[in-house]
């Protein structure tokens, strides 16, 4: 972990970071959180623990349950901010309905497979080229839809 030599826990007895129980009132937990609160690499430490799936110990000032809650928020689509993939899907769906097209026809217009296009509904991005093509197609459709008859 970058900056580990500056970690506040290097200068103290590290036992409090691995208590038997992680309750908020457990003296070791309170002590460890206090030490983390003054640590200059708290954010890097927390990021490291989240990225590496550390399931035990207090890292970045958080106990395992608190870290699990962060990971859960990061992986729950409904809690995540709307991605550009979901936004693109919504825009495409608007044009699809206006044109009375199927998703297959939209995929053909964008020159991608149905499977690739369906990624958007899960909030996942397509290849950057396909994303760009899809936004361009949607922009063209906007103009067509807004053009006087």
48 backbone dihedrals φ, ψ, rounded to 5°: -60, -45
Nearest-approach distance from CB 41 to ligand SF4, in angstroms:
5
d(Cα 14, Cα 36) in Å, to the nearest integer? Answer: 11
Q: Is 117 in the site for ligand SF4 (CB under 6 A)?
A: no
Choose the binding region for ligand SF4 from 5-13, 22-30, 72-80, 121-129 (rule: CB under 6 A).
5-13
Binding residue for ligand SF4, selected from 61, 63, 91, 134, defined by CB under 6 A:
61
Residues present in the chain in total? 149
Q: Is 41 in the site for ligand SF4 (CB under 6 A)?
A: yes
Phi-psi domain of 13 (left: phi exceeds 0; alpha: psi -120 through 50; beta: other):
beta
Binding residue for ligand SF4, selected from 28, 29, 60, 67, defined by CB under 6 A:
60
Q: Is 131 in the site for ligand SF4 (CB under 6 A)?
A: no
Binding residue for ligand SF4, selected from 19, 22, 28, 36, defined by CB under 6 A:
36
d(Cα 46, Cα 59) in Å, to the nearest integer? Answer: 6
Choose the binding region for ligand SF4 from 54-62, 71-79, 100-108, 114-122 (rule: CB under 6 A).
54-62
Choose the binding region for ligand SF4 from 58-66, 76-84, 99-107, 116-124 (rule: CB under 6 A).
58-66
Matching residue, tokens 């008859």: 149
Whole-angstrom CA distances from 3 to 7, 44, 126, 144 are: 7, 8, 36, 55
């Amino acid at each position: 972990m970058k900056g580990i030599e500056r970690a506040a826990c290097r200068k103290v007895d590290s036992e409090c970071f691995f208590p038997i129980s992680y309750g908020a009132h457990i003296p070791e937990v309170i002590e460890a959180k206090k030490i983390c609160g003054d640590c200059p690499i708290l954010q890097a430490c927390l990021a490291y623990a989240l990225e590496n799936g550390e399931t035990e110990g207090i890292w970045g000032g958080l106990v395992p349950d608190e870290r699990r809650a962060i990971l859960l928020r990061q992986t729950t689509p409904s809690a995540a901010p709307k991605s550009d993939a979901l936004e693109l899907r919504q825009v495409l769906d608007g044009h699809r309905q206006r044109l009375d097209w199927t998703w297959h026809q939209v995929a053909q217009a964008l020159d991608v497979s149905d499977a690739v296009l369906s990624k958007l509904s899960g909030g996942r991005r397509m290849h950057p080229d396909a994303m760009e093509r899809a936004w361009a197609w949607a922009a063209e459709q906007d103009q067509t839809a807004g053009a006087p008859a």
